[in-house]
Amino acid sequence: MTGYFPYHVGMQHGAMLPEQPAGVPSKFTFLPEKLKELGYSTHVVGKWHLGFCNWNYTPTYRGFDSFYGFYNGQDDYYKHTVLGGLDLRDDKEVVKTKDGEYSTYFFTDRIVDIIEKNPLGLPLFLYLPFQNVHEPLQVPKRFEDMYSNVQNENRRIFLGMVSAMDEAIGNVTMAMKKAGLWDNTLLIFTADDDPCSRLVPDNPGSRGRNCRPRYGRRESTGHPGVGPALPTY
């Protein structure tokens, strides 16, 4: 959102925990704030994790017209809870109607709805940080079953989570094409974490991912921290 590495915005200690009174300092301008100056409609659906101890740290105070998602970083995909508390919002309102629903499904539905309702000719900025493929490892069985040949359970679930996200992105791009937006769209696909984060060194498949021989994190100033995936279309 800022274009800075974490250590330039006071986040060198790592990701914010739910009980931490922290956030990206307000002196930093977020990308949607600049885009709104250019007349864009701006929306975020999915993971925030940039601070919520004060309303001024939350999405609609940092340049977004709307927010539908969760504030923290490791929420349950079905219960939408973290540390026992419900963490799902529609702007400021707590959403209590999605218990048991896989988040990737209804996040996709919301983003498609935004695309379909966007006034013709109005520039649109969409930020869609899915939970996938962040922990906890959870996915509907139909996606896990795609990889029944994989013996490691965590790896099998992780691969299913990638496929669930792939299906969701396909539905979003299809909606953009139907709305006539595709030929005038810049699609940037990037990563939240790298695959090395929090791996157990002597068991690289323990969390479903493996990037041996490296074990850095996104905060590191060496690889892979300086080079998350960034395909642009």
Structure tokens at 32: 């949607």
Q: Domain of 121: which CATH number?
A: 3.40.720.10
Residue 194 pLDDT: 59
Number of domains forming the structure of the chain: 1
- The ranges of the chain with pLDDT < 50 are 199-205, 231-233
Residue 116 lies in a domain: yes
Structure tokens at 88: 């799902």
The predicted-structure confidence for 14-46, as pLDDT tens digits, reads as follows 677 777 787 888 889 999 999 999 999 999 999
Residue 224 pLDDT: 54
Residue 39, helix vs strand vs coil: coil
The predicted-structure confidence for 146-180, as pLDDT tens digits, reads as follows 999 999 999 999 999 999 999 999 999 999 999 99
Residue 26 pLDDT: 86
Helices (H), 141-201: 141-144, 153-178
Total Cβ atoms within 10 A of residue 63:
21
Verify cis geometry, omega within 30 degrees of 0, for the bond prior to 6: no
Structure tokens at 1: 């959102």
Q: pTM for the complete prediction? A: 0.84
Residue 24 pLDDT: 85
Residue 6 lies in a domain: no
Residue 204 lies in a domain: no
Task: Find out whether 192 and 135 touch, Cβ atoms under 8 Å.
Answer: no
Residue 89 lies in a domain: yes
Residue 124, helix vs strand vs coil: strand
Q: For residue 105, what are the contacts with CB-CB under 8 A and spacing of at least 6?
A: 168
Mean pLDDT of the chain: 85
Nearest by Cα to 142 from 195, 105, 193, 192: 105
Residue 77 lies in a domain: yes
Which letter does DSSP use for residue 227 in this model?
A: -
Residue 102 lies in a domain: yes
Residue 48 lies in a domain: yes
Residue 231 pLDDT: 45
Residue 195 pLDDT: 58
Query: Beta strand 66-70 with 124-127: parallel, antiparallel or unpaired?
Result: unpaired
Task: Find out whether 116 and 98 touch, Cβ atoms under 8 Å.
Answer: no
Residue 190 pLDDT: 84
Among positive and negative, which fits the CA dihedral 130, 131, 133, 139?
A: negative
Residue 53 pLDDT: 87
Residue 171 lies in a domain: yes
Structural domain range at position 77: 29-184
63: left (phi over 0), alpha (psi -120 to 50) or beta: left
Residue 221 pLDDT: 54
